Structure 1
Amino acid sequence: MNNIKTINGTDFAKILFLAKDLIFNTKDQINQLNVFPVPDGDTGTNMYLTLESALKNLNTIKEQNINIVSKKIAKNAVLGGRGNSGVILAQILYGLSKGFDKLNKCDVKEFGNSLVDAVDASYESVSNPVEGTMLTIIKSFSDSWNNVRDNNDTFNDVLPLVCEHASKVLKDTPNMLEVLKQANVVDAGGQGLLIIFEAMKSYMSGDKPDIDQIMNKPGQSTTGMNIKDFVQEHAEDEWGYCVQLVINDANASHEEIEIAVNKNGGSTVITGIEEYVKIHTHSEDPGKILSSCIQYGELMEINIENMDKQFEEFVNDSEIELEVQLNENQKCSIIAISNGNGFNNLFVNLGVDKIVKCEKTLNPSVSEILEAIDLCKTNDVIILPNDKNAIMASDLAAQESVKKVSIINTKSIPEGLASMMSYNNELDINTNISNLENNTTDMNFGSISLASRTGVMDNIKYKEGEYIVVIKDKILFAETTLIESVSKTISYMSPDQDSLITLYWGEHSKEKINKIESQLIGQFNSIDMEFQYGGQSNIEAWVAIE
């Protein structure tokens, strides 16, 4: 693409469409950086959803006036901003639109002026601005842009310079904000902003962005501990609720509303456009936030999210694995073979010392198990294979090891978890073996997986894409929906009122589970039921009944 000296409304929209796609492709990586103000792993997702709202109904835009286009984008963004990062991003877009006021198109100097407005709007929206966040990064873009614009009159010349400068500032954010240094990450919102400006640079040059070069990964900083240590330290913290709403035709100033909200909220961001005021805050009591706002006008677009649950999902969905604390009185160690971050963390929380992680099927190599045995701190070691396919490799590893290694023949992960309920590493290995084996005798479990092809087995016909239910290594039936397969599995197992039903969802089931859980609770309302995230990739759900 030729050197570009001006952009119009069509260009601005296309830049943001490109940015939206780039954020979508990197949102999981951005989420992994998210520790401030709450480590709920949603910054990338919220920035993507905010851009999606901002660009609503703009796919076929023909308007070229940057003033008109940017104002439409800003209004959509302010009303649809999600989370702390999304609401601040919306204010940046709003500030840019103010700078584009009365312009048909925008040159490099005018874009620099608009960035100043974007900085002002974003800082003013936050009740307690903190440096080392995306506020710092948008300011670094503005400062750098306005420093180089006098000697560079094309966007192609300016953007590489400002992106390079902002990237350096982003890498320094752990030195500005202690919580980032503790977790050894850069600011997640700042990373998202860098990606947006890199998308703009890509639009101008026609070159594909180098994601590996742009992205900062957890642990790349040379200071601090690491994200795993940070999560371990904050595992018991309570975060409350993220509350977002819009007041239509508010009869008070932003300042007055902010004072009222902050009586029961924190991390508050107040934005607005035209007759709408957008509120984002964190609170232990969402009801008090709504009550404090209703006096100012009609409440719209109310969204309340449990941040404690988001934190749990952040840990489960990530590669973060909590570690069991070393016990000075420990007499034996225990190893679990596992599949899924949710299961991994459940095992560690129950006292497992080492996890042998498998990506799909539980079929580890002997050397992987031996490595875990060697890393255990005690000479006496117990292994939970958790699958019949892992028992032979576990036996061979036990024979090869110089340590005293015993195998508990657990044939599923739920069985392994159940056995851990009686484990105590201060007891000798023989007592623990007896306790572990006794704890699995009264347990039934079944797995539900998707058929990858059409076939017949155990006299049961099934089609590709159907849910196959397996109990005691035998296919019992196949159903077309997950809810039907789970319901039928539970009914087949015949639980009584004293039973406990536990469902462990796989990584492919998260979008469906809320509705399914409500249906199951209603159907089996006389029986205690728990739901856990296992994160296993090969099985849609495990059903365990004790």
Structure 2
Amino acid sequence: MPYPLDAAAVRAWCGLALEAVGRERERIDAINVYPVPDGDTGTNLYLTLESATRAVEAAFDGHASTGTAPGLADAMGAMAHGALIGARGNSGTILAQLLRGMTEVLTAATAPGGAAGPSAGEALRLALRRAAAATYEAVAHPVEGTVLTVATAAADAAERAGGDASEVARAAHEGARLALQATPGQLAVLGRAGVVDAGGCGVVALLGALADTLSGEVSAVPVVVPADAPLPGAAGCETAAPGEPDGCRDPHEDGPAFEVIYLLEADDDAVARLRTRLDGLGDSLVVVGGDGLWNVHVHVDDAGAAVEAGIEAGRPYRIGITHFGGTTGRTREPEMAARAVVAVVPGDGLAGLCAEAGATVVSVRPGEPPASGELVQAIRQAHAREVMLLPNDPELRHTAAAAAEQARTEGVRVALIPTRSAVQGIAALAVHEPGRSFDEDVVAMTAAAGATRYAELAVAERQSWTMAGVCQAGDVLGLIDGDVAVIGSDLAGTAMTVLDRMLSAGGEMVTLVLGADAPEALAERLERHVRERHLAVDTVVYEGGPYAAPLLIGVE
């Protein structure tokens, strides 16, 4: 018996979709050759749907606390929003846009009872057509034979179908499945590798789960990637067709070096300008969202410029920067680097700095620490057999330890370097040497971090007791090694006092990381102070960007 298209159906749909992609995740990862053969499309799809599922469950929990039940618009809105804020990679970002397109139509079609109106089948047909159109709008340079083609075929099949929403969903699933099988003949890189489009697999899984939900019957063809499907190998994947976008290539050698993804709070006009700027910086540009919140994904050589473009457009956060070095499209699976570094950093400037040094970066802003799952995903994206994990925050010790333990169960050798500040992380990254033994590298990086005393300047938000006495709201606090050591009235004066205290015990190098709100002449004043008061001490200055502390100090 068909089931209504309502909030309960959306909840069940999420669970079935997540289960389906979870079953296929590794095989989807294995056939991932376009747009970049980095072997993580299945994982990215799974994480995106996981975020969508959590958001729907939160919506149900929120309504339960008030004794009400969510409607279709509530559930679909939560699903689309969860996918948007949790989208990973090119495929996950497009999937989030597809769900947003469906939500626009189904929300408008919601009947007073909280389900789709009398013509639920027609509403679903319109929703799938809007979803397909939305995916094309999100991609800077659409390419056929990809997830876009599969979504359009699903919408075409839905329009030809009659009957209720259950029949429409089943027709859409079958149309998507047939289109997926045809993708190797549409995109040369897939044909040479002998695989279907990995991102398209996500659409097939999503629509199969929807059809099963509305019909109450499990599809006879639940598998997205056939068990006997060939995996991409060396044969036929050596050269791309002339002029083919991206092609089957080593992204580190022939294409952009970094994947940059972030959430962005900005208005429509600013995002339009951002699209133009990012399109000139790299490729695989996908911008999805609306109503002031966007998810931005792009592959570039200059990660810092991509982040700066976001800063000019609005407020970027949850910035992720992945270095493509070590992946290759010429092997059966992404080539694993011998060793990599994963670093958690505050501020966009430090994110770009660490990424340029070869680290996979998890960028955070105050009050939004990463979950262990985010760190595990960053470790996976590093594509390395051995990983040095730099939490750069004492509060992340347990989270990082849990992530390291999870990664170890997946066969990755992980060392948790006990960095308590971003400046300790910079010091550790500076001595990182993949060519020496793992244990020697751990010792060297740990020693460099331990030899770096760290300080942070912050502004007191309220009156409180500290180890240096009572502070008032607006006072400048100088924290040395995590404890308040100086209370001052201005940033420069307090910073000089902190520097003098730290250098009184000796030091050869001072590192200054300036937040976006630091006074323009602060760095020059502090450099001059160190030069005049502490001979033979060098100073290096970095821009931390938005969300960094007003000033971070490291003394080695």
Q: TM-score, normalised by structure 2?
A: 0.55
Structure 1 contact 250–298 (Cα < 8 Å) conserved: no
Amino acid at match of 1:281: V
Q: CA deviation at 1:13?
A: 2.2
For residue 76 of structure 1, report the CA deviation from its aligned partner: 2.1
Alignment correspondent of 2:44: 46
Q: Which amino acid aligns with 2:171?
A: L
Q: Secondary structure at the match of 1:58?
A: helix
Counterpart amino acid of residue 515 in structure 1: L
2:317 to 286, 300, 309: 300
In 1, Cα distance between equivalents of 2:18 and 2:56? 13
Matched, 1:153 2:164: yes
The match for 1:85 among 75, 88, 91 is: 91
The letter for the 2-side match of 1:114 is A
Shift of 1:200: 1.8
Structure 2 partner of 1:3 = 2
Unaligned runs of 5+ in 1: 323-340, 344-481, 484-505, 534-539
Please give the alpha-carbon distance, in whole angstroms, between the structure 2 residues aligned to 1:268 and 1:529: 31
Q: Shift of the alpha carbon at 1:171?
A: 0.8
Q: CA deviation at 1:209?
A: 5.1
Aligned to 2:31: 33
2 CA distance for matches of 1:69 and 1:527?
A: 47
| Paired letter, 1:82 | R
Q: In structure 2, what is the Cα distance between the partners aligned to 1:218 and 1:183?
A: 14
1:301 to partner: Cα distance: 1.4
Q: Percent identity over the alignment?
A: 26
Provide the residue aligned with 1:140 in structure 2. Answer: 153
Change (3 A) 1:80 1:529: closer
Q: For residues 271 and 165 of structure 1, what CA distance do their matches in structure 2 show?
A: 25
Letter paired with 1:27: R
Match of 1:374 in 2: none
Q: Secondary structure at the match of 1:59?
A: helix
Q: C-alpha displacement at 1:36, in angstroms? A: 0.9
Offset of residue 164 of structure 1: 2.5
Instruction: Say whether 1:199 aligns with 2:198.
Output: no
What SS does the aligned partner of 1:101 have? helix
User: SS where residue 235 of structure 2 aligns?
Assistant: helix
Matching residue of 1:15: 13
Match of 2:414 among 510, 513, 534: 513
- Tell me if the contact between 2:55 and 2:78 (Cα under 8 Å) persists in the aligned partners: no
3-state SS of paired residue (2:134) = helix
Query: Would you say the 8 A contact 1:35–1:41 is kept in 2?
Result: yes
Q: Which has the larger radius of gyration?
A: 1
Within-5 A mapping of 1:311-326 = 311=327, 320=333
- After superposition, the C-alpha distances for 1:381-428 in whole angstroms (9 at most, x for unaligned) are xxxxxxxxxxxxxxxxxxxxxxxxxxxxxxxxxxxxxxxxxxxxxxxx
Match of 2:403 in 1: none
Partner of 1:393: none
Shift of the 530–218 alpha-carbon distance from structure 1 to 2, 3 Å rule, reads farther
**In structure 2, what is the Cα distance between the partners aligned to 1:285 and 1:262?**
12
Rounded to whole Å, the distance in 2 between the matches of 1:532 and 1:217 is 39
Question: Per the alignment, do residues 65 and 299 of structure 1 end up closer, same or farther by CA in structure 2, a change over 3 Å counting?
Answer: same
Structure 1 distance, partners of 2:304, 2:40, is: 23
Opposite residue 168 of structure 1, the aligned amino acid is L
Match of 1:358 in 2: none
The alpha-carbon deviation at position 65 of structure 1 amounts to: 1.1
Query: Which deviates further from its counterpart, 50-59 or 172-181?
Result: 50-59
Pair 1:264 & 2:281 matched:
yes
Which residue of structure 2 lines up, in the alignment, with residue 403 of structure 1? Answer: none
Aligned residues of 1:141 and 1:163 also touching (Cα < 8 A): yes
Q: Are the counterparts in 1 of residues 285 and 298 from structure 2 also a CA contact under 8 Å?
A: yes
Deviation at 1:229, TM superposition (A): 2.4
Specify the alignment match of 1:66 in structure 2. 72
Aligned counterpart, 1:123: 136
Question: In structure 2, what residue type is equivalent to 1:51?
Answer: L
The offset of 1:212, in angstroms, is: 7.0
The count of residues paired between Structure 1 and Structure 2 equals: 346
Structure 2 residue 41 is the aligned partner of structure 1 residue 24:
no
Give the Cα–Cα distance (whole angstroms) in 1 for the partners of residues 121 and 192 of structure 2: 38
Question: Displacement, 1:46?
Answer: 0.8
1:530 aligned partner: 435
Deviation per residue, 1:219-256 (Å, 9 max, x gap): 559xxxx5332555535545411101122134734321
What does residue 526 of structure 2 align with?
none
**Aligned pair partner of 1:289 in 306, 314, 322:** 306
Aligned residues of 1:185 and 1:218 also touching (Cα < 8 A) = no
**1:475-514 CA-partner distances (Å, limit 9, x unpaired):** xxxxxxx99xxxxxxxxxxxxxxxxxxxxxx984655526
Residue type of the alignment partner of 1:153: D
Q: Residue in 1 aligned with 2:515?
A: none
Report the AA paired with residue 2 of structure 2: N
Quote the Cα distance in structure 1 between the aligned partners of 2:158 and 2:312. Answer: 43
Match of 2:103 in 1: 97
Gap change, CA 1:526 and 1:206, over 3 Å in 2? closer
Per-residue deviation, residues 243-284 of structure 1 (Å, max 9, x unmatched): 011221347343211001112121111112321122110001
Q: Is the 8 A contact 1:191 1:216 kept in 2?
A: no
Partner of 1:402: none
Aligned equivalent of 2:533: none
How many Å apart are 1:308 and its aligned residue?
2.7
Per the alignment, residue 278 of structure 1 pairs with 295
**Equivalent residue letter for 2:26:** D
- Which residue of 1 is the match for residue 352 of structure 2? none
Cα–Cα, structure 1 residues 272 and 522, in superposed 2: closer, same or farther, change >3 Å? closer
Which residue among 199, 205, 224 is the counterpart of 1:189? Answer: 199
Q: 1 CA distance for matches of 2:437 and 2:26?
A: 21
Aligned to 2:127: 114
Shift of 1:297: 1.6
- The TM-score normalised by the length of structure 1 is 0.56
**Does the 8 A contact of 1:243 with 1:282 survive in 2?**
yes
**Aligned partners of 1:123, 1:528: CA distance in 2, in Å?**
43
Amino acid at match of 1:197: L
Alignment of 1:73-472 (within 5 A): 73-102=79-108, 103=110, 104-106=114-116, 107-149=120-162, 152-155=163-166, 157-208=167-218, 213-216=223-226, 219-220=229-230, 227-229=233-235, 234-235=249-250, 237-250=254-267, 252-309=269-326, 311=327, 320=333
**d(CA) in 1 for partners of 2:431, 2:270:** 51
More off after superposition, 254-263 vs 53-62 = 53-62
Distance 2:228 2:325 in 1: 21
**Could you tell me how far 1:520 is from its partner in structure 2?**
13
Decide whether the 8 Å contact of 2:45 with 2:91 is kept in 1.
yes
Instruction: Report the Cα distance in structure 2 between the residues aligned to 1:129 and 1:531, rounded to whole angstroms.
Output: 44
SS at match of 1:303: strand
Q: Cα distance, 1:40 vs. partner?
A: 0.6
